Amino acid sequence: MVHQAQGQMVQEVAAGSLPAPPSRYVLRKEDRPTGGVAAPELAFPTVDLQRLAEPGDVEEAGKLRSALESWGLFAVTGHGMPESLLEGVRHAGMEFFHLPPEEKLRHANRTEDGEFQPEGYGIDRVDTDEQVLDWCDRLYLTVQPEEERRAQFWPARPPSLARLLHEYALGSERVARRVLGAMARALGLGEGFFLGRVGDKVASYARFTFYPPCPRPDLVHGLKPHTDNSVVTVLLLDPDVGGLQVLKDGRWVDVPVLGRGELLVVVGDEMEIMSNAAFRAPTHRVVARAGRERMTLALFYQPEPHRDLVPAEELVGEGRPARYKKLGAKTFADGFWDAFALGERTIDFLKVKVEQEPQELKAA
Ligand SMILES: O=C(O)CCC(=O)C(=O)O
Ligand SMILES: [Fe+2]
The rounded Å distance from CA 353 to ligand 2 centre is 21
The rounded Å distance from CA 111 to ligand 1 centre is 25
- As a whole number, the mean pLDDT across the chain is 94
Q: What angle do CA 173, 177, 180 make, to 5 degrees?
A: 140
**For residue 39, is pLDDT > 90?**
no
> For residue 211, which atom of ligand 1 is closest to its CA?
1
Concatenated DSSP letters of 111-126? -TT--B-SSEEEPPP-
**Whether residue 209 has its Cβ less than 6 Å from ligand 1:** yes
- For the chain, the structural domain boundaries read 24-363
> For residue 294, which atom of ligand 1 is closest to its CA?
1
Q: Strands 244-248 and 251-254, how do they pair?
A: antiparallel
The rounded Å distance from CA 224 to ligand 2 centre is 9
pTM: 0.96
pLDDT in tens, 47-105: 999 999 888 899 999 999 999 999 999 999 999 999 999 999 999 999 999 999 999 99
In this structure, which residue's CA is closest to atom 3 in ligand 1? 244
**Whether residue 198 has its Cβ less than 6 Å from ligand 1:** no
**Whether residue 244 has its Cβ less than 6 Å from ligand 1:** yes
**For residue 228, is pLDDT > 80?**
yes
The rounded Å distance from CA 274 to ligand 2 centre is 19
**Whether residue 302 has its Cβ less than 6 Å from ligand 1:** no
**CA–CA gap between residue 54 and residue 138 (Å, rounded):** 37
- Greatest mean pLDDT among 125-129, 161-165, 338-342: 161-165
ipTM, two decimals: 0.99
**For residue 252, is pLDDT > 80?**
yes
In this structure, which residue's CA is closest to atom 10 in ligand 1? 228
Output 272 or 359, whichever has higher pLDDT: 272
**Whether residue 298 has its Cβ less than 6 Å from ligand 1:** yes
What's the CATH fold of domain 24-363?
Answer: Jelly Rolls (2.60.120)
Concatenated DSSP letters of 285-313? EE---SS--EEEEEEEEE--TTSEE---G
Q: With CA atoms as reference, report the closest residue to 333 among 350, 311, 351.
A: 350
**For residue 169, is pLDDT > 60?**
yes
